[in-house]
């Protein structure tokens, strides 16, 4: 496609909405870290944004069908990086999830694994014969998605592993899986709960129990969820203003620039601000679904749907954690939370959606 024609066909509304979300994130990170030892860390997020824009530009310029041709290679490289993390990874918060050389942290391959998983599953579904998924197809898809999940679980980073669930569920629905297989899977999952529960660590059990009993251990495991709800409630309708959130500025709110950045935003901009940010997410997802409908082939449609499921699912999980409806599992809010790897992967995902939409009229 000619460069000027590509620029004219770009999905500017989606790019603009994504840009606003990223800007909200940078301001929220600046507020969340003002006055403590991490003050100024927002500048690193700006650098990560620059890298994300470069990567997304490359993704948009190259036809998505070319990326599909090398999808297995890309997925394999990410799998090798996940294996390398287990040996030379840098441990943060009890998880060995950062690929590092000496004292230099290169990033989290687990974030990019979400993107490559969407890509390989979309390619697999697009190339198979139409019809419902059989046992063989389920096994093959299980290998494609299960490999990164297994490696991430070993780190162990169960929060990131959970974010693959929306991707897999969307792939199964798109593929037309028989409902009996879904029911069988649910039954097996229920039967495994008594077996899996004793294997959980004590703090993991407490986090799950705190969802059903919010006042359980308020100064221990339940502290994060409790302070998050206090911050959200104190924001009221219009909030206290940027850099004026007391729960945030007084450092009562833990992980305020990463997992609980939504609570920071809610305290400073109130219910109106939360509606705004959720509205922006909804708009981005709606544009992604529009790109899926207008795609000229099944590959483009499936790619947009899976990336949309990934980002929407991760957003829902993060909001659920912030509201205390899900256990605290360490899942960042796409585009908003601090983190270079997460930002680059999410922006590249939007780049693939824009890629599909911009080529909807190309033969």
Q: What is the predicted pLDDT for the residue at 179?
A: 74
d(CA 22, CA 8): 23
Q: What is the predicted pLDDT for the residue at 103?
A: 60
Q: What is the predicted pLDDT for the residue at 8?
A: 63
Q: What is the predicted pLDDT for the residue at 235?
A: 82
Q: What is the predicted pLDDT for the residue at 215?
A: 67
Q: What is the arrangement of strands in the sheet containing 95-101, beginning at the earlier edge strand?
A: 89-92, 95-101, 104-107
Q: Is the peptide bond before 156 cis (omega within 30 degrees of 0)?
A: yes
Q: What is the predicted pLDDT for the residue at 214?
A: 66
Q: What is the predicted pLDDT for the residue at 272?
A: 93
- Centre a 10 Å sphere on the Cβ of residue 173 and count the other Cβ atoms it contains: 12
Q: What is the predicted pLDDT for the residue at 218?
A: 60
Strands 89-92 and 104-107 come out as unpaired
Mean pLDDT per 10-residue interval, the chain, length 363 residues: 64 94 94 80 93 96 95 96 87 73 74 96 87 80 93 88 93 83 80 76 71 64 76 85 76 79 91 94 96 93 97 95 84 93 96 91 58
Which helix (H) or strand (E) covers residue 98, if one does? strand 95-101
CA-nearest of 185, 183, 71 to 139 is 185
Q: How far is CA 299 from CA 213, 238, 328, in A?
A: 45, 43, 35
């Amino acid at each position: 496609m000619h460069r000027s024609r590509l620029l004219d066909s770009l999905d500017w509304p989606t790019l603009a909405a994504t840009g606003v979300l990223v800007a909200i994130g940078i301001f929220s990170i600046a507020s969340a870290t003002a006055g403590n030892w991490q003050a100024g860390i927002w500048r690193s997020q700006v650098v990560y944004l620059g890298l994300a824009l470069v990567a997304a530009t490359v993704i948009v310029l190259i036809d998505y069908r070319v990326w599909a041709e090398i999808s297995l290679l890309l997925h394999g490289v990410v799998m090798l990086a996940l294996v390398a993390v287990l040996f030379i990874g840098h441990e943060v918060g009890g998880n060995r999830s950062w690929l590092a050389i000496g004292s230099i942290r290169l990033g989290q391959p687990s974030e990019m694994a979400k993107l490559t998983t969407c890509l390989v599953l979309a390619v697999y579904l697009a190339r198979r014969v139409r019809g419902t998924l059989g046992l063989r197809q389920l096994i093959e898809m299980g290998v494609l998605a299960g490999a990164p999940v297994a490696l991430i679980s070993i780190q162990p980073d169960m929060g990131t592993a959970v974010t693959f669930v929306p991707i897999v569920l969307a792939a199964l629905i798109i593929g037309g899986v028989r409902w009996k297989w879904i029911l069988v899977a649910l039954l097996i999952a229920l039967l495994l709960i008594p077996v899996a529960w004793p294997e959980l660590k004590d703090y993991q059990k407490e986090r799950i129990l705190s969802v059903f009993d919010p006042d359980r251990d308020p100064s221990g495991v339940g502290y994060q969820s409790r302070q998050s709800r206090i911050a959200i409630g104190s924001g009221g309708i219009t909030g206290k203003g940027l850099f004026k959130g007391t729960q945030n500025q007084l450092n009562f709110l833990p992980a305020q620039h990463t997992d609980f950045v939504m609570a920071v935003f809610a305290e400073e901009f109130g219910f109106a601000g939360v509606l705004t940010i959720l509205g922006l997410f909804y708009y981005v997802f709606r544009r992604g679904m529009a790109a899926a409908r207008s795609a000229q082939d099944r590959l483009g449609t499936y790619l947009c749907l899976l990336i949309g499921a990934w980002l929407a699912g991760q957003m829902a999980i993060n909001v659920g954690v912030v509201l205390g409806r899900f256990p605290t599992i360490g899942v960042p809010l796409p585009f908003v939370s601090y983190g270079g790897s997460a930002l680059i992967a999410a922006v590249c995902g939007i780049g693939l959606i824009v890629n599909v939409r911009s080529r909807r009229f190309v033969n």
